[in-house]
Amino acid sequence: MLRVHALGLIAMGSVMSVTVTSPVIPLYLDARGLPPGHVGAIIGATSLAIIVTELLAMTMSHLLGRRRTVILALLASAVMFGTFPLAGTVAGLYASRLILGAVRGFLWPVLFAEVAEAGPPERRAAQFAVFWLYFGFGQLFSPALGGWLGGAVSLAAPFYVAAGICLLTIPAGLVVGRQRDHSPRNPLAPYGELLRHAPQISRAWMLTICNTTIIAVFATFLPLHAAARGVSPSQIGLIFTGGAMSFIVAQWILGRLGGRASVERLLVPGVLVRGLGVAAVPYLGTFGALLSLNALGNFVGAGVPNAVSLRITVRTPRAYIVPAMGGFNAAADVGFFAGPALGGVLAGAGLRWPFLMVLPVLGVALLAVFLPEPSAPAPAVEASDGDAGVAADRP
Q: What is the mean pLDDT of each run of 10 residues along the chain (395 residues)?
A: 83 93 93 92 90 76 85 94 93 94 85 78 74 81 92 94 94 84 70 80 90 95 94 93 88 70 75 95 95 94 84 77 77 90 92 96 91 62 38 31
Q: Is 277 helix (H, G, I), strand (E, B) or coil?
A: helix
Cα separation, 279 vs 299, in Å, equals 17
Distances (CA, A) of 61 to 47, 75, 177, 287: 20, 16, 11, 44
Say what the pLDDT of residue 112 is.
80
Say what the pLDDT of residue 274 is.
94
Say what the pLDDT of residue 392 is.
31
Spell out the residues 6+ positions from residue 334 whose beta carbon is closer than 8 angstroms to its own.
Answer: 47, 51, 209, 212, 213
Neighbours of 251 (CB within 10 A): 25
For 391, list phi and psi in degrees, rounded to 5.
-80, 135
Cα separation, 281 vs 266, in Å, equals 23
Angle between helix axes 142-152 and 2-19 (nearest 10 degrees) is 30
- Farthest-apart Cα atoms in the chain, separation: 83
Say what the pLDDT of residue 381 is.
40
Q: CA Rg, the chain, in Å?
A: 21
DSSP 45-70: HHHHHHHHHHHTHHHHHHHH-HHHHH
Say what the pLDDT of residue 258 is.
60
Say what the pLDDT of residue 351 is.
92
Q: What's the DSSP call for residue 382?
A: P
Say what the pLDDT of residue 387 is.
39
- Report the amino acid identity of residue 297: G
Say what the pLDDT of residue 377 is.
56
Domains, the chain, in order of start with CATH, read 2-170+187-370 (1.20.1250.20)
Burial of 260 (0-12, 13-18, 19+ CB in 10 A): middle
Is this structure's pTM higher than 0.95? Answer: no
Say what the pLDDT of residue 153 is.
94
